[in-house]
A and B are shown apart, each in its own frame.
Chain A
Amino acid sequence: MSAGIDLENVCCDFGSFRAVDNANVSIEPGEFFSFLGPSGCGKTTILRMISGFIEPTHGQIRIGGMDMRGQRPNQRPTALIFQNLALFPLMSIWENISFGLEVRGVDKKTRRAKAQALLDMVDLPDAADKMVSQLSGGQKQRVAIARALAVEPKVMLLDEPLSALDLKLRQHMRAELRTIQKRTGVTFIYITHDQGEALAMSDRVGVMSQGRIQQVANPRDIYNNPVNGFVAAFVGENNIFTGSVANPSGGMAGFDTAFGRLNARLGEQAKGDNIKLYVRPEHTILTETAGSENTIPVTVSEVSFEGAFIAVHAKTENGQTLVAEVRNDGSATVPSIGAKRFASFNAAHASILPDASKGA
């Protein structure tokens, strides 16, 4: 019921502009895979190449092992959910859902029954005879999903399907999409610029920047072991230090900065110049007495209450601002503004990474 997808050296040029540059990724059958990246990085272009609306300039796309070159979108086992959903406003909901069956010559009674079954599945049992304009944003979303599922695709392609919804509904739909994916077992390729969404829903994430896939890994590795500064910055906040690598050994290295030598893990791609040290605010702690390693004296400059956590901003002697986040679990002692503290972090939680987003 589901198929894997392989992209091999896939490039897409629009005139002299390269929108997708040498994409290589293998997506497993039944996997929930997300492409994550800022607007304009080429996510939609990748999706449109997989669904067949654009032919790659170079490279090969295989679905279920079959080369897709020359196959029109109506010949591919994929179903695309458009960014704006593209429901048919002149058809009723059940006609929308069964359109894919209609073109396959399925008789009306069967179509109607299938549409109803899908509506039950997406939790809209009474919507069959309504028109698209009568539904809310979240309901339209579900209809779009049902319409795509109706043709029993091997691969579902979703282009930022939740971006138009408000926060509460978005979180609800995330869980729902994940459930539907698990239940149907169809391969989902999901596109988003929202890192929270990608990390929360996916089996694996491909982070993109400027047409290149920077890193493909499971959400935990993307967040904890980013391969470069772009990925580190795109999926979360960082305290960043400039400096140079000193005596690397066994995956760890020293890093000489204005605050003396700091220790951290050495990223695999950390070669050449433009190397920086990244550490996340939740791994940065503020203490009253100096620790043994990676300690920097700071003055607290701002405390901002974020609800689930408290962000403490502190200035170093040379004016750099560091952020430390503490969980708002009642036990945290929040320093007052102007207090002298020592910021420190565990070397295992800090990474030395190349800053340039285009990898070597």
Chain B
Amino acid sequence: MGDMFRRYGKSATFIICLITAFWLLMLVILPNVTLLESSFRPLLPVTEIGGPNDQYTFANYLKVFNGSIDTTLMGIPVHIPVHVLTFTLTLFYSVVVTLLCFVLAYPLSYFMAKIISPKSLPTMFLLLFVPLWVSEVLRAFAWWIILALKGPLSSLLVWLHLIDQPIRWISGYNGVLIGLVYTYVLFMIFPVYNAMSSLDSNQIEAAEDLGSPWWRTHLRIVLPHCKPGIASGAVMVFMLSAGSLLVPTILGSTTSQWFTQTIQQWMFDALDWNTAAAYAFLLLLMCTLFVSLVMRLFRVKLADIAK
């Protein structure tokens, strides 16, 4: 702070602080507080707002437990509220997306950080970044076209005689998984790559010199070193996936439902913003809880991730 005074002078510092405060307060805190407040209020006709029925209540939150259905989860028949089911599936598939992203990102990061020559790194990064220049909507649609029943992927595989019938790729959660992995894998690659490139190559060689086979070197040396990077990538991919609306909307099938789609239905189909807000906060809260639980399980500290 004192440093800022010296560098920019009093008035400039004041203005900078003011702008930051405005941005935080008006664009981040206030809308969220308003939403949080309305999530505790019942949906009422305009005339009754502020009237005797306008009481704070948890009713909006408890709506997730309405309307149970019979289904099977991993072979076990269950009787479960439909929104809780959606929520559980959203969390589950977000975890799957996170794992898939890690499985893709780890070898790629290792390859970029430790194997290819630094000269070809800019090309690699360019290849990774180019898809980002196209909007997310277009990319999701591109996948929709690729994965369509009579789309290029099926045609190619049929032409190669690898399959004899076109495959319906977009069924269940497949399309959503592919789309989410494709959209968010970079958020895993960069932190893991960063962690990986900060690892002294001599440590890998030292392990090998002491007789370690490659897989054990990864398990004992590379993976532990990259843990903070993996954790921060995983948190990002998980949160973004669970909160994604676009990809599940475009690449979802008739049998896939994402929790954000439920929120959207409350908002635009039922026009009940209060319940939508309650659901949104529920999602935020549960995801945060889930992430902290997993972080504790893997002994990752918040400070590691922030690095």
By a beta-carbon cutoff of 8 Å, the part of chain A in contact with chain B is 51-53, 72-74, 78-80, 82-84, 86-88, 90-91, 99-100, 102-104, 147-148, 151
Contacts and interface: CB of A to CB of B under 8 A. Distances in A.
B211 A103 contact: yes
Interface string B223-234: 011000000000
A82 B212 contact: no
Given A80-B206, A82-B205, A103-B210, 11 more contacts: A53-B205, A73-B205, A74-B209, A84-B202, A86-B203, A88-B203, A99-B210, A99-B220, A100-B211, A151-B210, A151-B211
A83 B205 CA distance: 12
A99 B209 contact: no
A84 B200 contact: yes
A134 to B, nearest CB: 18
B203 A74 contact: no
A86 B224 contact: no
Nearest to B210: A100
Contacts of A102: 220
Contacts of A53: 205, 209
B211 A86 contact: no
A99 B205 CA distance: 13
Contacts of B213: 74, 103
Given A74-B212, A88-B221, A90-B225, A99 B207 contact: yes
Given A82-B202, A84-B202, A90 B210 contact: no
B195 to A, nearest CB: 12
B200 A86 contact: yes
A51 B209 contact: yes
Contacts of A151: 210-211
Nearest to A147: B210
Contacts of A88: 203, 206-207, 220-221
Contact of A82 (B206, B216, B221): B206
Contacts of A100: 210-212
Contacts of B216: 103
20 contacts: A51-B209, A52-B209, A73-B208, A74-B208, A74-B210, A74-B211, A80-B209, A86-B200, A86-B202, A86-B203, A88-B207, A88-B221, A90-B225, A99-B220, A100-B212, A103-B210, A103-B211, A103-B213, A151-B210, A151-B211
Nearest to A76: B209
A74 B204 CA distance: 12
A79 B212 contact: no
A205 to B, nearest CB: 24
Contacts of A78: 209
Contacts of B206: 80, 82, 86-88
A151 B209 CA distance: 10
A100 B205 CA distance: 13
Contacts of B202: 82-84, 86
Interface residues of B, number: 17
B224 to A, nearest CB: 5
Contacts of B210: 74, 79, 99-100, 103, 147-148, 151
Nearest to B224: A90
A199 to B, nearest CB: 28
Contacts of A51: 209
Interface string B123-147: 0000000000000000000000000
Question: Which 3 interchain pairs have the tightest Cβ spacing?
Answer: A86-B202, A100-B210, A86-B206
A149 B44 CA distance: 78
A90 B222 CA distance: 11
A345 B115 CA distance: 58
A100 B212 CA distance: 7
A148 B210 CA distance: 7
A152 to B, nearest CB: 11
A157 B225 CA distance: 26
Contacts of B209: 51-53, 73-74, 78-80
A73 to B, nearest CB: 5
B92 to A, nearest CB: 31
Nearest to A103: B212
B153 to A, nearest CB: 40
B143 to A, nearest CB: 39
Nearest to B207: A99
Contacts of A72: 208
Contacts of B221: 88
Interface string B171-182: 000000000000
Nearest to A144: B206
B111 to A, nearest CB: 19
A107 to B, nearest CB: 16
Most chain A CB neighbours (cut-off 10 Å) among B210, B216, B224, B225: B210
B31 to A, nearest CB: 43
Nearest to B212: A103
Contacts of A87: 206
Interface in B192-206: 200, 202-203, 205-206
B226 to A, nearest CB: 11
Nearest to B206: A86
Contacts of B203: 86, 88
A53 B208 CA distance: 9
A104 B210 CA distance: 10
A92 to B, nearest CB: 13
Nearest to B203: A86
A191 to B, nearest CB: 15
Most chain A CB neighbours (cut-off 10 Å) among B212, B213, B224, B225: B212
A243 B211 CA distance: 56
Nearest to A157: B209
Interface in B83-125: none
B178 to A, nearest CB: 35
Most chain A CB neighbours (cut-off 10 Å) among B208, B211, B220: B211
Contacts of A80: 205-206, 209
A155 to B, nearest CB: 12
A74 B224 CA distance: 21
B242 to A, nearest CB: 31
B205 to A, nearest CB: 6
